[in-house]
Amino acid sequence: MNKTALADYPIEISFPDITPYAEGNGDIPYVYQFDSGLPGPHVMINSLTHGNEVCGAVVVKALIDLGIRPSHGKLTLAFANVAAYQAFDAQHPDASRFVDQDLNRVWTNQLLDDLSQQSCELARARQLRPVIDDVDFLLDIHSMHEACPPLNVCGPLKKGLTLASQQQSPAWIIRDEGHPEGCRLRDYNAFGDPNSPKNALLVECGQHWQASSIDVAKDVTARFLLLHNIVDKNDIPTDWFQPLDPKLKVVKVTEPVVATSMDFRFSDDFTGLETFPQAGSLIAWQNEQQIVTPYPNCVLVMPSIRQLRPGVTVVRFGELQSE
């Protein structure tokens, strides 16, 4: 069956009103920072890198409302692309991913320093930058266009894989180089430096509007905070924790498939983690040319044409390293 129509996912999540958090508790709107005054890492939980990915906002709001405070080190809680979030329209739910450009493709010093480049997202990234430059461990909470199992995106470095393995949740771990379109927050500066102890994870919690994505976001947030020993376990609601998968599965991304035009379609209704035993399996057409899997046991990572335009990664090929 050719993938000629996009799945219509119901919106199962109520989008919280975050305007009461606009002032934050410092100099940066929608950012809360708490310092224990005791030695420990600076940990950041970031939400709304994309405006239609609501599960992270639900969790950050809950942490603020619960009055969570670090017992050691420093904790930052942030709503990132608020402008895009506030533009959300349930009739066009994919349209509010960003306002001008993808906030998760702007994280290079060159671009952030170049004030001749202006956009809503660059302005927000420049606001957030001083905080992020101080962070030791970042959890960036995302969700996905399609109904794929949750993914722990750890980047290409060994330190990222180590952190994802320590985190344990989600069980699917994606090792990748990012996107040709631009640098992600989880790869920014020290997070992407193999010689720096600073580290970051990007967790895709499930389909954007499925209620289960909130369950995943709560679980990964609780485990991330405990892993870095900056909160007491008793401070976290017990129902935030989900059962762990007994086995981690690691996929190393080898190459992206990037749209060169609007003439791209998948050969089936792929949602992610489909595995093809044979090399040369047809997965899509682009400009009427076949796109096939490049090697045996090839995994499709986050296939989607919801944001189709030239230059956008529509799927990535990955090698299943363990399962």
Q: Quick one: tokens of 196? A: 């720096």
Quick one: 36 exposed, middle or buried, by C-beta within 10 A (0-12, 13-18, 19+)? middle
Q: What residue ranges define each of the domains in the chain, with the CATH number in brackets?
A: 19-240 (3.40.630.10), 254-322 (2.40.50)
d(CA 68, CA 232): 9
d(CA 110, CA 4): 39
pTM for this model (two decimals)? 0.93
SS3 71: coil
Task: pLDDT tens for the chain, 323 residues: list them.
Answer: 334 456 789 999 999 999 999 999 999 999 999 999 999 999 999 999 999 999 999 999 999 999 999 999 999 999 999 999 999 998 888 889 999 999 999 999 999 999 999 999 999 999 999 999 999 999 999 999 999 999 999 999 999 999 999 999 999 999 999 887 899 999 999 999 999 999 999 999 999 999 999 999 999 999 999 999 999 999 999 999 999 998 999 999 999 999 999 999 999 999 999 999 999 999 999 999 999 999 999 999 999 998 899 998 999 999 998 54
Q: In what order do the strands lie in the sheet with 298-301?
A: 31-35, 74-79, 42-47, 137-144, 199-207, 151-153, 172-175, 249-258, 313-322, 298-301, 275-276
Q: Quick one: tokens of 290? A: 């076949």
